[in-house]
């Protein structure tokens, strides 16, 4: 029982990281209709941007977080304008392949600039808190709080602002958004900015929890896509739930199978969702 | 000067002309109906005029200004609102959000505009927090029309506003459309319920295979035996 609760705590932690990645990926899918394969590498580069801020200015990671989010959001817009924008009108599969190439380029860039060995934000070991039989690192609480804060901000953006509503409208019904006079290009730029910024946050949190290395994001891409599909493709709220479910399932699976198979668990859930409930776990159109 | 007119339009999808030498016009205070068999090009005519289907030759003008092939955003800013035949609401958005987005191109508060829409469709006010996707067909049509009215249009283009509605709701919809027209909004609509639509309209066009067949006042088209036999089911 104690072990299960400890794994659930870890699962929610992993789940919040997945959720932040999945919200962006699902919004990009909703608005642009393609699976963005470079999303994991957005996470990684965001984490490294924060590393630079932390080491150069000697700041705590959380202070570097907004800078990393801003830079990655800007980078996402730039990549869209330079790479994706030109091929948007052709088949979605071309976009998908282009995003695959972007992923490789970003990863090589990270290796060139920051090297390919493991790095951490803070040297030294954080003493975990012991709460009864459970252990929790102070960083974990920070990650929970910051992730929850970001999710709340995204929620307020999507439900309260003109641009947020336009974004949901475009992902709902592209043609109708067009005839309503919603400016597609502006909405697309905002979608990249937000998707990139959230990916950066996910990457920074992952780096705080574990360590930084160039493929850190790429290895999480599959669970992120699994979360997106589980939550219903194109649905931000579903992606949050999907992220938490996949995170917990991956951690809990170590009770019965070796930890190396965690990604396989995400993959199995993804395939099962596609076969049995392709519209995702949430009912209705939410 | 007509509110909107199409002259000698040739337009279609991927190089194949669906519309051939199409002429249409709507005056400022009119209700104009387009009828015709399935596949006649009625929806294509509306889309071409609204800039959604490329026009190969011919001209569309609005209040004397040429607007051929202009993007939808510009059409809406000019005061032309279009309600497509299918998928004409944002299903995961609430009624209020659907309406708010209708006024996306306008500045200023949405409150008064929404109140005006609620006056026309009181039912929408009752259900304003409902998701549009779970509403009945009749209510969805109200959301769709309400969304278009939010931009305070001078011309409302409706593609089959009574499709799939019960006879009672069909009557009600035509009643509403007349009410909207009396607010000074020109209406151009495509209709399958041709008899009722012509009865509600000032003028009508009969389209077949992308060409004009007949054009007359509503009552005259209803009384025309050829039209009645070929297009109104005898
Ligand atoms: N997106 C499209 N691409 C290619 N051809 C199309 C497209 N939409 C319609 N068509 C063709 O154009 C012709 C006219 O279609 P349109 O939808 O304008 O007819 P309609 O008069 O509105 O018919 P209905 O009463 O069924 O709505 C049809 O032959 C149709 O197959
Ligand atoms: Mg049609």
Q: Which residue in B73, B84, B93 is closest to A172 by CB distance?
A: B93
pLDDT one-digit tens code per residue, A18-57: 999 999 999 999 999 999 999 999 999 999 999 999 999 9
| pLDDT level of residue A92 (50, 70, 90 thresholds) | confident
Q: What would the 3-class secondary structure string for A165-231 be? A: HHHHHHHHCHHHHHHHCCCHHHHHHHHHHHHHHHHHHHHHHHHHHCCECCCCCHHHHHHHHHHHHHC
- Residues A86-114: what's their mean pLDDT? 94
Domain B27-50+73-229 -> CATH class: alpha beta
> A with B: how many residue pairs have Cβ under 8 Å apart?
70
Ligand found nearest the CA of B193:
1
Distance in angstroms (rounded) separating the CA atoms of residues A251 and A254: 6
pLDDT at B1: 84
Of all residues in chain A, what percent carry a pLDDT higher than 90?
Answer: 85
pLDDT (0 to 100) of residue A105: 98
H/E stretch holding A125: none
Which residue's CA is minimally distant from atom 4 of ligand 1? B13
Measure CA A126 to chain center: 25
- The span from the CA of B199 to the CA of B221, in Å, is 9
The mean pLDDT of chain A is 93
The per-residue pLDDT for B9 is 97
**Minimal CA–CA distance to B165: which of B141, B148, B143?**
B141
Find, among B47, B51, B44, the residue nearest to B74 by Cα.
B51
Q: Could you say which ligand is closest to the alpha carbon of residue B211?
A: 1
**What is the block-wise mean pLDDT of chain B (234 residues), using blocks of 10 residues?**
95 93 96 96 97 96 96 94 96 97 95 96 97 95 98 97 94 96 97 95 96 95 92 74
pLDDT at A161 over 60: yes
What ipTM describes this predicted complex?
0.94
| CB of B69 closer than 8 Å to CB of B217 | no
Task: List Cβ<8 Å contacts ≥24 apart for B64-70.
Answer: B64/B1
* Residue A275: per-residue pLDDT: 92
User: Which domains are assigned to chain A?
Assistant: 2-113+137-276 (1.10.3470)
- Report the Cα A283 to chain-centroid distance in Å: 23
pLDDT at A175 over 80: yes
Cβ atoms of B157 and B145 within 8 Å: the answer is no
Q: What contacts B186, CB < 8 A, 6 or more positions away?
A: B3, B4, B26, B27, B28, B29, B30, B31, B32, B154, B155, B156
Chain A residues touching B89 at Cβ < 8 A: 173, 176
- pLDDT tens track for A46-64: 999 999 999 999 999 999 9
pLDDT of residue B105: 95
Q: Which atom of ligand 1 is nearest to the CA of B37?
A: 25
- For A182, residues 6+ apart whose C-beta sits below 8 A from its C-beta are A166, A169, A170, B73, B101, B104
DSSP state of A117: S
Our CA-based measurement puts residue A90 at a distance from the nearest CA of chain B, in whole angstroms, of 15
Q: What is the pLDDT of residues A227-284, one digit of tens each?
A: 999 999 999 999 999 999 999 999 999 999 999 999 999 999 999 999 999 888 876 5
Q: How many CA atoms lie within 13 A of A131 on its CB side?
A: 8
Asked if A182's CB is within 8 angstroms of B131's CB, the reply is no
How much is the pLDDT for A285? 52
Atom of ligand 1 nearest to the CA of B160: 27
Give tens-digit pLDDT for A179-194: 999 999 999 999 999 9
- Of the pLDDT bands very low, low, confident and very high (cuts 50, 70, 90), residue A286 is very low
Facing residue for A180 by CB, picked from B87, B92, B147: B147
CB contact under 8 A, A173 and B89: yes
- The pLDDT of residue A88 is above 90: no
Q: Angle at the Cα of B118 (from B115 to B122), degrees rounded to 5? A: 145
Taking a C-beta distance cutoff of 8 angstroms, is the pair A176, B87 a contact? yes
User: What six digits make up the tokens of A242?
Assistant: 């999907």
Nearest CA-CA partner of B33 in B231, B200, B176: B200
């Amino acid at each position: 029982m104690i072990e299960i609760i400890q794994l659930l705590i870890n699962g929610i932690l992993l789940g919040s990281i997945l959720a932040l990645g999945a919200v962006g990926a699902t919004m990009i899918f909703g608005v642009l209709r393609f699976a963005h394969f470079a999303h994991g590498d957005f996470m990684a580069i965001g984490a490294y941007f924060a590393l630079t801020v932390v080491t150069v200015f000697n700041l705590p990671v959380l202070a570097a977080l907004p800078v990393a989010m801003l830079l990655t959001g800007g980078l996402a817009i730039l990549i869209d304008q330079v790479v994706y924008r030109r091929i948007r009108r052709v088949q979605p599969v071309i976009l998908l392949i282009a995003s695959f190439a972007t992923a490789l380029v970003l990863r090589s860039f990270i290796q060139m600039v920051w090297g390919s060995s493991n790095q951490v934000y803070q040297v030294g070991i954080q003493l975990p808190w012991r709460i009864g039989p459970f252990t929790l690192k102070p960083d974990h609480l920070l990650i929970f709080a910051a992730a929850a804060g970001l999710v709340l901000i995204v929620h307020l953006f999507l439900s309260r602002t003109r641009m947020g509503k336009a974004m949901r409208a475009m992902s709902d019904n592209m043609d109708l958004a067009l005839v309503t006079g919603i400016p597609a290009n502006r909405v697309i730029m905002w979608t990249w900015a937000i998707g990139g910024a959230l990916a950066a946050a996910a990457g920074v949190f992952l780096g705080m929890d574990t360590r930084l290395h160039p493929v850190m994001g790429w290895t999480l891409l599959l669970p992120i896509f699994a979360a997106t599909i589980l939550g219903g493709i194109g649905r931000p709220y579903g992606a949050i739930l999907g992220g938490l479910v996949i995170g917990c399932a991956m951690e809990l699976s170590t009770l019965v199978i070796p930890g190396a198979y965690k990604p396989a668990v995400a993959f199995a859930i993804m395939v099962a969702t596609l076969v049995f409930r392709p519209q995702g776990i949430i009912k209705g159109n939410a | 000067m007509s509110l909107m007119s199409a002259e000698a339009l040739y337009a279609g999808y991927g190089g194949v002309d669906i519309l051939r030498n199409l002429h249409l016009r709507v005056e400022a205070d009119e209700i104009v109906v387009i009828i015709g068999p399935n596949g006649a090009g009625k929806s294509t005519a509306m889309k071409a005029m609204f800039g959604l289907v490329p026009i190969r030759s011919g001209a569309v003008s609005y209040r004397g200004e040429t607007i051929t092939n202009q993007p939808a955003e510009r059409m809406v800013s000019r005061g032309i609102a279009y309600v497509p035949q299918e998928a004409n609401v944002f299903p995961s958005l609430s009624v209020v959000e659907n309406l708010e987005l209708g006024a996306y191109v306008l500045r200023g508060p949405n409150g008064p505009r929404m109140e005006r829409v609620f006056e026309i469709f009181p039912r929408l006010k009752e259900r304003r927090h409902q998701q549009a996707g779970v509403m009945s067909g009749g209510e969805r049509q109200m959301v769709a029309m309400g969304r278009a009215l939010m931009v305070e249009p001078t011309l409302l283009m409706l593609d089959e506003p009574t499709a799939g509605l019960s006879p009672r709701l069909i009557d009600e919809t035509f009643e509403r459309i007349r009410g909207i027209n009396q607010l000074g909004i020109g209406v151009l609509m495509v209709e399958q319920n041709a008899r009722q639509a012509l009865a509600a309209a000032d003028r009508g066009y009969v389209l077949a295979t992308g060409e004009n067949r007949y054009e007359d006042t509503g009552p005259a088209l209803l009384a025309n035996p050829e039209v009645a036999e070929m297009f109104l089911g005898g």
